[in-house]
Every structure is written in structure tokens, then in C-alpha cells.
Amino acid sequence: MTNKELLKQIAEQQFETASILSNFMNSTKDYISKQNSFNAKISGYLENNDKTNQVGVVQKQQELENRVSSLETNKKVMIGIATIFISITTWFSGIFK
């Protein structure tokens, strides 16, 4: 094999490799574009949107945690009041027997 034939063969292999690499880069670019679009959509659900005044999932979750905490506190207070009321009623009923 002559040097000219070897150089031609190397050039053809480099061209094939460059074509494969170009296809891979284009596929990667498309994937990254789709992923960025998906990330923007998810971010739109998670974060507040000031333009549309839409509340995001993160803020809704925080508000729900606050409401549940408030309800738990109210429940404990009501149980405490009921316990005191029952205790006082029992004590009064013991006095007036």
C-alpha cells in the first residue's frame, strides 16, 4: 500500500468519524433543547408566576403545612378545654352529691 492510499484511507475514516460525531452532537443538542423545555415547564409548576398571579406548588405546600399545623394546635387546645371542662364538671358533681 502506498502512502497516498494510506492517506486516502485515513481521510475516509476521519470523515466517517466526523459524520458520526456530528450526528451525535446534533442528537445531543436536540435532547438538551427538549430537556430545557421540560425543565422550564416543571419550574413553571413549582414556582410562583408573577405575570399570571398563579401560585406555585412549593408555596401551596408551605401554606398547607401552616394550615395543618394550625389545625393540630387548635385540636390540642380543644382537647385541653374539653378535659378541663370534664374535670370541673366531675368535681362539681362530686361536691353537690
Count Cα neighbours of 68 within 13 Å in the Cβ-side half-sphere. Answer: 6
| Predicted local distance difference test score (pLDDT) of residue 82 | 95
Q: Tens digit of pLDDT for each residue in 24-55?
A: 999 999 999 999 999 999 988 888 888 788 88
Higher pLDDT, 23 or 51: 23
Query: Residue 40: exposed, middle, or buried by beta-carbon count in 10 A (0-12, 13-18, 19+)?
Result: exposed
Q: In whole angstroms, what is the distance from residue 86 CA to residue 83 CA?
A: 5
> pTM above the 0.95 mark?
no
Q: Domain ranges in the chain? A: 1-46, 54-97
How many C-beta atoms surround the C-beta of residue 47 within 10 A? 14
> Is the model's pLDDT at 96 over the cut of 80?
no
Q: In whole angstroms, what is the distance from residue 71 CA to residue 74 CA?
A: 5
